[in-house]
A and B are shown apart, each in its own frame.
Chain A
Amino acid sequence: MFNTFRSTIRRPLFVFFTVLLTAVVTIFPIVSSAQEQKPLRIAIKQETGNLDLLQNVSALSTYSLVFDPLIRYGENGQLEPALATSWEVSEDGTKLSFNLRQDVAFSDGTPFNANTARWNLERWMGKPEFAWIGISDAMQSIETTGMYELTINLSRPVPAALYELTIIRPVRFLSPNAVDAEGRQTAPVGTGPWVVTENNNSRTLLTRNNNYWGSKPSFSSMELKVVPDELARSNGLRSGDLDIIGGDWVSPLSPRRARTMQRDPNVAVVAEPGTTSILLTFSPKSPLLQDQRVREAIDLSIERNAIVAIIYEGFATPTTNLFPTVIPFSGDRVVLPQRDVKSARSKLEQAGWKRSGNQWLKDGKVLELELMVSEEALPGSRRLAEMIQGQLSETGIKVRVSSVDNATIHDRRPVFQYDLTFMATYGAPYDPHGTLANLLLSGVDSGPDGKIYTNPELDVVVQSALNAQGDERIIKMQAIYNWLNANMAVSPLVSPKRLWAYNRRVGNFQLPATDYQMPGTDVTLSE
């Protein structure tokens, strides 16, 4: 009888708990998803890293989400206030005064003021490892003239000083409480719109900084997913695993893929004029390229429009200018030359080369050049090299394409161990001063980037332009471009467009001002 009682009470209890459990399991995720929106998911090509402002190890684009500069690089190179609300440069260019934004705090609660700003600037200004930044090299002292007033005194004028303050690293501001006893950064704590909550080799998770001084993001979290493969990224975007992909430094999108994705109704592709140029550079040490006429023959053999159509799928502009127009002081536009194999051949004849079959000979030597490329360093460069090889072979110039890895190209570039190679200008916000100083001045150590071209005459022209101010700067910058053209020192090929893509979940998508920055803070999300 007792057993019967137990079984009669057990059955309803069992049914009740089963129903309850099922209900909880089904309803809970619905409730929680209603409260918590899925984060904005952006693909990144490599892991973020520790975001140390003084070390060259982390991915550049994530910094802009966490750290703010004094001045921001805006559209078309306009300077916009960030942590400084206004600024003034003295007439002689040696004194920069800033009025700092008030009521700003780092995400750990530490207030931002002239003292914290000065502490930050002193961490890198005047240090030898940051001598590549003009303002750091010329820094004499940093003064705080009030709670929110700061002055930087320079030993010489640095015309690009304000632009230098817009770059990503090391100029942005870190909380003074985020360093250890030796002054090394311990955590990425800034004043920016986002706070890093999780950071590993597969993703970086950021949550909204509710104390952010600017307009706060409309959604609460952002996930940066590491997807190294380009095809996997575009598939992820189409399947809805990712919301935004693109940008040279964030997660490059190839022109081919962009073209394919344009036909997908669920994906929007954004193609905007880029700030970089792809250059075919001549080694100043190559014996075969010492004669300017050989360089001119090469330039005349190149068909830039075909490169744009085939390699860039139309997402580029053919150019013979070092910088695209969006870069300040980029100079007068040079008319695009027509490909002219006949003239190219006559240039070679003038230079003393004799045609024999489909090759050129001089003193028993064949005109054969090595074109060094690295897919890792510049995606798509091997195919571009094959195309140039084909174009030059019509003139009879033999090209040997040597495909090397990233480390090799970084070793061989600085010592000019090649005849021809591809290089890219740095792009906004580093240009024009960055490319001109680092890639054209022979005395500046540009590390693995190498040089576009070097010549003692060119050094004088570049140096004088970099030191010029006001209207004189425009004229002297033009003098650099004229020198490069007159001496055929470099063959700019194309200016690729900036390519991004996002899915329909993302609204109000706006490209960041430079590809070194991350988009997404202004966007809206719909489910």
Chain B
Amino acid sequence: MPDSLKLSSIAKWPWAVLTPVLLFVAVSILAPWITPYDPAAQDYSAVLQGFSQEHWLGTDYLGRDMFSRIIAGARVSLVAMSIVLAAALIIGVMVGSFAGYVGGRTELVLISLIDIILSLPSLVVALAFIGIIGPGYWSMIAALTMAWWANYARMSRAVVTSELHQPYIEAARVMGAGHLHIFCRHILPHVLALVVVYASADAGALVLAIATLSFLGLGVEPPTPEWGQMLVDGMNYLEQYPHLVILPGLALTLVVSSFNLLGEHFALKKVPKGLSKRRLGILKKRRAREEMNMLEQEAKA
């Protein structure tokens, strides 16, 4: 079965899934030093060239080096994705946790708002938002944040509501802990544990959304290289110079799938596993030892 095969291979090398993501992150951090050419520099004497020693992945219609543009594009995509993810996480966790913690009418209003946003496809929300504030790099980031935060808010609220009724919270309260202490110390770690895992799975979708908006001309402004924009520029030359479309498409596919793999891996770790006989034996022994210790202590007393 392919599924079990995939799971077992991931289980054997849990850090293997991180490799492509780390590779892309490293490339995007080092982009200014490893690009052989200025990704925006036009050279009319070398337009639409194929693969060569000077230009490893050829050049585009303005003679710009494709290799440099793809590397620089990774930086743009990953930086924008990180900003959106961080902003969406902060807003989502804050709003969701607040709703869950406070409860009552406030929760009802906030959760209704979250539900409304979630009922609309996120890209439509982003498009509408850009329609209002106008296109550009920062409006793209704002629009995607607006479209993404509600997901995390809903998750955070669910975790907060369930944790709030746990006995240890009651205990903390009885001991006189303040709301902020209870929330930050006892609830937030639970919220983050879940939400961050889902966010890592969303990273791929976000990279794709950024490329989609740029493809529609609503994202990154030229001459900043961006994969979605490189795709749309290459479309004109698809018949004769397919590498102009295939290369940014391939880069996009690789990043999206490696982030998805990572997200999947994290999500699997969160799934409760059945206890093996050996583990059960160990636990039983430990429990017996503890009971023995307690009995001994009682006897001493």
Contact = CB atoms under 8 A, between A and B. Distances in A.
A387 interface: yes
Contacts of B235: 231
B222 A386 contact: yes
B42 A256 contact: no
A303 B43 CA distance: 12
Nearest to A394: B42
B162 interface: no
Choose among A401, A403, A404 the residue with the greatest number of B CB atoms under 10 Å from its CB: A403
A88 interface: no
A475 interface: no
A389 B218 CA distance: 18
A260 B239 contact: yes
Interface string A378-390: 0000110111011
B61 interface: yes
Given A401-B221, A401-B222, A386 B62 contact: yes
Nearest to B61: A310
Given A309-B44, A390-B62, A403 B240 contact: no
Interface residues of A, number: 25
Interface string B122-134: 0000000000001
A254 interface: yes
A256 B237 contact: yes
Interface string B224-265: 000000000101110110000000000000000000000000
B222 A389 contact: yes
B29 interface: no
A383 B62 CA distance: 9
Interface in A391-405: 391, 393, 400-404
B223 interface: yes
Interface string B115-155: 00000000000000000001110000000000000000000
Given A260-B239, A386-B62, A310 B47 contact: yes
A383 B221 contact: no
A383 B61 contact: yes
A401 B44 CA distance: 20
A151 B236 CA distance: 52
Given A306-B44, A310-B44, A402 B62 contact: no
Contacts of B223: 386, 389-390, 401
A179 to B, nearest CB: 39
Nearest to B218: A403
B44 A400 contact: no
Interface in A273-326: 303, 306, 309-310
Contact of A256 (B62, B218, B236): B236
Contacts of B221: 400-403
Contacts of B237: 256
Contacts of A382: 217, 222
Contacts of A260: 239-240
Nearest to A380: B236
A402 B40 CA distance: 17
A408 interface: yes
Interface residues of B, number: 21
Interface in B207-222: 217-218, 221-222
A254 B236 contact: yes
Interface in A241-294: 254, 256-257, 260
B136 A387 contact: no
B59 to A, nearest CB: 12
A472 interface: no
A393 B222 CA distance: 12
Contacts of A143: none
A464 B136 CA distance: 44
Contact of A390 (B40, B217, B233): B40
Contacts of B233: 383
Nearest to A391: B42
B217 A403 contact: yes
Nearest to B217: A403
B290 to A, nearest CB: 68
A445 to B, nearest CB: 26
B260 to A, nearest CB: 30
A387 B47 CA distance: 12
Given A390-B40, A402-B136, A385 B222 contact: yes
A375 interface: yes
B236 A387 contact: no
A402 B217 contact: no
A385 B62 CA distance: 12
A402 B62 CA distance: 19
Contact of B62 (A387, A400, A403, A408): A387
A237 B42 CA distance: 34
A443 to B, nearest CB: 31
A375 B236 contact: no
Nearest to B47: A310
A408 B134 contact: yes
A404 B62 contact: no
Interface string B39-58: 01110100100000000000
Contact of B135 (A303, A390, A403): A403
B114 to A, nearest CB: 30
A350 B136 CA distance: 34
Nearest to B238: A231
A404 B139 CA distance: 13
Which 4 residue pairs across A and B have the least CB separation, nearest first?
A390-B42, A386-B222, A403-B217, A256-B236
Given A310-B61, A390-B223, 5 more contacts: A257-B236, A401-B222, A403-B135, A404-B134, A408-B134
Interface of A: 231, 254, 256-257, 260, 303, 306, 309-310, 375, 382-383, 385-387, 389-391, 393, 400-404, 408
18 contacts: A231-B235, A257-B236, A260-B240, A310-B44, A375-B217, A383-B61, A383-B236, A385-B222, A386-B222, A386-B223, A387-B62, A389-B223, A390-B40, A391-B42, A402-B136, A403-B217, A403-B221, A408-B134
